[in-house]
Structure 1
Amino acid sequence: MNYKILWLLVLAWPLKTAAQSNWDLKTCIEYGLKNNRSNAVYANEKLIADAKAKEALAAYLPSIGITSTLDNNLMVQETVIPAGIFGPKDIRVAFTKKFNANQVARLDQTLYDQSLLTGLKANKYNRQQANLNQQKNDETIIYNISNAYAQVFIYREQLGMLHDNLNTYNRQMELTGFQVKKGVRLQKDLDKVTVDYNNTRSQIAVAESNLDLANNQLKYEMGYPMDSNFAVDSTGANVFQNIAPLLTENSSFSAVNRTDYRLSQINLQLLEIDQQRIKAGALPKLTAYAQYGAVGFGDQLGPAYNTLSPYSAIGLKLTIPLFDFFKRSAQYKQAAYKSLNAKENLKIDEDKYRLGFANARTKLLKEQSNVENSQRNIELAKSVFNTTNLQYQKGTTDLTDWLNAQNSLKEAQNNYLNGLYTLFQSRIELENAGGTLKSFYTGLPAAHEK
């Protein structure tokens, strides 16, 4: 019996853990950074950069090759020994036989090649580029999850307000229906309230559908299974609003914080290395080699392999390029112009990023003010509605005033929700413009800190 109870507890543990999971914004981002499928792509990019580094280094390491050839001389070439050397007549003689076998092993070692040495400098920047690309992917994940999370939060807030409005209309329908039966209200008054009640139900259906879509989008950005459910913390999105005033006090901006700016810097370094590599191609190259082989001849195939004679050699090979100046000069000029363009684009990007940061900061300040005004308008609209509702119950005002007050409250709610979502977006845009998305993520409070 005890074993059965223990087994049931083990089975129930995952369900309990899932039910207690507190999916606040920080938890969602943490999950996405580990499980988004794009992580595998950029992890492979880092491995590719490592492989490129090994490939570049291999060009300066010894290379060994074995070559085996077999010639079947269908017509054996003959040469002529002039008359007078071995006799009064020319002598035609063949210095090979029908079959010629040659086996050779050769080792080559580059001793000096400045173009290869220069190319090795790119290995460091290729690794940095792969690391920055992975960091850029992490920032994209943070950005997308934050936007999707904000949508979920807004639709949940909207549903809460719509259900409150639906309850208000329901109570009013009951009251107006009772008054119609008593003959103190007209049927058209009940119909007006019923129309608004039905419209609110339709809005709830749309909001529920939008919430499902937003949840699916959030799961997608996180890499979370689509067929699994999880509950988003209803207070998690407050971090967008509460930190905004603190962030906007700091107006400093540095383009180096932007990952894409640093990627452009890396690209500039690679272009300059390529320019140096092309220039170094005009310098001499020195290579050492050693080879050992065996050669055999025969009128039949067998003797060509049975009578192999060994030979060996070591030596140096000096290569001096002489007549490719015009080609290399054209390549060098292309690389130089690409480097100049990269420098100019880097300056253009810096100005563009600075402008984007300034605009995002201004927009955030504006949206923060709009949300605060919307919050005050909701409180005023609630106060007006409560007063109008009390007056309606006492019979000192008509249904038109009651409906107008309720519609004003709904309009204030819509303005607040729209402003709040725009504020969330502006918050993330400012973090993105400032290159501080990672800092934003690490600075988010955990669930137990709220």
Structure 2
Amino acid sequence: MNKTLLLATFALLPLGLFGQTVWTLRSCIEYGMKNNRNSVIYDNEKKAADAQAREALAAYLPSVSLNGALDDNLKVQETVIPAGIFGPEDLRVAFTKKFNTNGSAQLDQTIFDQSLIIGLKANKYNVQQATLNKKKSEETIIYNITTAYYQIFIYREQLGMLKTNLEKYRQQIDITSQRVTKGVLLQKELDKVTVDYNNAMSQIVVSESNLTLSENQLKYEMGYPINDPIVVDSANAQGSIRIVAPVMAENNVFSAYNRTDYQLSQVNAALLDIDQRRIRAGIFPRLTAYARYGAIGFGDHLGESFSTMSTYSAIGLKLSFPLLDFFKRNAQYNQARYKHLNAMEQLKLDEGKYQLEYENARTKMKKEQSNVENNRRNIELAQSVFDVTNLQYEKGTTDMTDWINAQNSVKEAQNNYLNSLYNLILARLELEKTAGSLKTFYTAL
């Protein structure tokens, strides 16, 4: 009996441990990289780009086509041979029979097509574009998961502070209630603290709701089942705040090329350049070789058209030289050229824009660091004032209004601190985003 119970306990142990899996920020991001639906979409786009490259290359590979035809000439066409060639009168002759069968196989091979050669160069950039889109998707996943993860941490901190404040109100209600019973205080003093106690209860309900919503948001960003529980490592989150928001170095060097958006714009400009060169190359002739083998048969009856088939074959070259499409091609070329010029100008605009975003993010980061430190000190100061006021109230040297005001100052300082802490995390993420280093940030966790 004991052995059976022991085996059952060990069998259930892994399930219990799995149910209590604690998620760190890094593990959340790792899970999101694999399970977020956007990852699947951009993986498919990468595969589509590879397939597109193979399709473009296939245009320069040999192609074989099979053709077959069966004609039933309900009324055979006749041709007139003028008089004087085979006799004094016109001669009507049919050069076919009622049934005509024809089958052939043809191989075509492009030998020279300058526009196609230039177009093949786009394959490399199409693959790069798909790869960069996937990288951008991963950066978005890192940003969104980190934001949701620390939102949970902030709401948990807020919930803990609210419960601590609620306990202070509860204790004060007990003390004040005894004094009212003894006739030392008026009922209105008890009502004042009861109102704040009820308000604290309402704030806790709101905070618990916000915590649930933020957990659902994290699950969504991760691609995690929305109905399954998730346990975020609060201790790890509090410790990693130092990693997420360290003091910034003053000698950071910005490069717009580190931004995935900038790299995508460069690829787009390169594709537009290839497009204009491909259109311009349309002026060159296209040379194609072919080889054909087939059989043809004629007969007054269907079977005879098959039994009398004779074979034929041919090889040759086809030269295609466009002459009268100059105006159309020139208009297309100019459109492509101006699009490319605009793309190059947009690159210059983006470089300045990204530099501005980075500098603004650095400035905001410094400001939020200062706010966090000030608000942390302000909590300590407000708590010190409350402790003194609480002692004075116990000795009867101050009233309930002063006590409530001191406690409200503590709550306000706590809220300001939590808001500034979350803003600091967002500022750091924005800094990493504008610097193009979100993946570096993730690997450093």
Task: Tell me the secondary structure at the aligned position of residue 347 of structure 1.
Answer: helix
Structure 1 residues 384-430: Cα deviation after superposition (integer angstroms, max 9, x where no partner): 11111111112222212111111111111111111111111111111
**CA displacement at 1:140 relative to structure 2:** 0.4
Distance in 2 between the 1:317 and 1:281 partners? 16
The answer to whether the Cα contact below 8 Å between 1:150 and 1:237 also exists between their aligned partners in 2 is: no
The answer to whether the Cα contact below 8 Å between 1:149 and 1:237 also exists between their aligned partners in 2 is: no
Distance in 2 between the 1:198 and 1:349 partners? 53
Task: Please say if 1:338 is aligned against 2:339.
Answer: yes
Structure 2 CA distance for partners of 1:365 and 1:104, relative to 1, 3 Å: same
**CA displacement at 1:249 relative to structure 2:** 2.9
The answer to whether the Cα contact below 8 Å between 1:79 and 1:94 also exists between their aligned partners in 2 is: yes
Task: Please say if 1:279 is aligned against 2:280.
Answer: yes
Distance in 1 between the 2:6 and 2:308 partners? 84
Counterpart residue type for residue 421 of structure 2: L
The answer to whether the Cα contact below 8 Å between 1:285 and 1:320 also exists between their aligned partners in 2 is: yes
Runs of 4+ aligned residues of structure 1 deviating over 6 Å after TM superposition are none
Counterpart residue type for residue 360 of structure 1: A
Distance in 1 between the 2:143 and 2:234 partners? 19
Distance in 2 between the 1:248 and 1:178 partners? 57
**CA displacement at 1:8 relative to structure 2:** 4.0
Structure 2 CA distance for partners of 1:3 and 1:273, relative to 1, 3 Å: farther
Counterpart residue type for residue 136 of structure 1: K
Distance in 1 between the 2:137 and 2:167 partners? 45
Q: Look up the match of 2:398.
A: 397
- RMSD (CA atoms): 1.4
1:82-161 matches, within 5 Å, as 82-161=82-161
Distance in 1 between the 2:251 and 2:432 partners? 12
1:163-178 matches, within 5 Å, as 163-178=163-178
Distance in 2 between the 1:240 and 1:248 partners? 17
Distance in 1 between the 2:95 and 2:156 partners? 94
Distance in 1 between the 2:99 and 2:422 partners? 85
Counterpart residue type for residue 351 of structure 1: G
Q: Look up the match of 1:74.
A: 74
The answer to whether the Cα contact below 8 Å between 1:177 and 1:190 also exists between their aligned partners in 2 is: yes
**CA displacement at 1:248 relative to structure 2:** 4.8
**CA displacement at 1:312 relative to structure 2:** 0.5
1:35-50 matches, within 5 Å, as 35-50=35-50
Counterpart residue type for residue 207 of structure 2: A
The answer to whether the Cα contact below 8 Å between 2:108 and 2:288 also exists between their aligned partners in 1 is: yes
The answer to whether the Cα contact below 8 Å between 1:241 and 1:424 also exists between their aligned partners in 2 is: no
Counterpart residue type for residue 41 of structure 1: I
Counterpart residue type for residue 338 of structure 2: Y
Task: Please say if 1:373 is aligned against 2:374.
Answer: yes
The answer to whether the Cα contact below 8 Å between 1:68 and 1:103 also exists between their aligned partners in 2 is: yes
**Runs of at least 5 residues in structure 1 that lack an aligned partner in the other structure:** 445-450
Distance in 2 between the 1:398 and 1:8 partners? 59
Return 41-50 or 388-397, whichever deviates more: 388-397
Count of matched residue pairs: 443
The answer to whether the Cα contact below 8 Å between 1:49 and 1:126 also exists between their aligned partners in 2 is: yes
Distance in 1 between the 2:399 and 2:243 partners? 41
Q: Look up the match of 1:268.
A: 269
Distance in 1 between the 2:252 and 2:104 partners? 71
Distance in 2 between the 1:246 and 1:364 partners? 9
Structure 1 residues 16-56: Cα deviation after superposition (integer angstroms, max 9, x where no partner): 1331x331211111111111111111110011001101100
**CA displacement at 1:297 relative to structure 2:** 0.7
Percentage of matched positions with identical amino acids: 64
Q: TM-score, normalised by structure 1?
A: 0.96
Q: Look up the match of 2:62.
A: 62
Q: Look up the match of 1:214.
A: 214
**CA displacement at 1:6 relative to structure 2:** 3.1
Q: Look up the match of 2:323.
A: 322
Task: Please say if 1:421 is aligned against 2:436.
Answer: no
**CA displacement at 1:84 relative to structure 2:** 2.5
Structure 1 residues 48-69: Cα deviation after superposition (integer angstroms, max 9, x where no partner): 0011011001100110011001
Distance in 2 between the 1:333 and 1:240 partners? 54
Task: Tell me the secondary structure at the aligned position of residue 247 of structure 1.
Answer: coil
Q: Look up the match of 2:412.
A: 411
Structure 2 CA distance for partners of 1:317 and 1:7, relative to 1, 3 Å: farther
The answer to whether the Cα contact below 8 Å between 1:25 and 1:237 also exists between their aligned partners in 2 is: no
Distance in 1 between the 2:98 and 2:4 partners? 87
**CA displacement at 1:238 relative to structure 2:** 4.4
Distance in 2 between the 1:207 and 1:169 partners? 18
**CA displacement at 1:85 relative to structure 2:** 2.4
The answer to whether the Cα contact below 8 Å between 1:248 and 1:365 also exists between their aligned partners in 2 is: no
Q: Look up the match of 2:233.
A: 233
The answer to whether the Cα contact below 8 Å between 2:112 and 2:287 also exists between their aligned partners in 1 is: yes
1:194-213 matches, within 5 Å, as 194-213=194-213
The answer to whether the Cα contact below 8 Å between 2:245 and 2:425 also exists between their aligned partners in 1 is: no
Q: Look up the match of 1:300.
A: 301
**Runs of at least 5 residues in structure 2 that lack an aligned partner in the other structure:** none
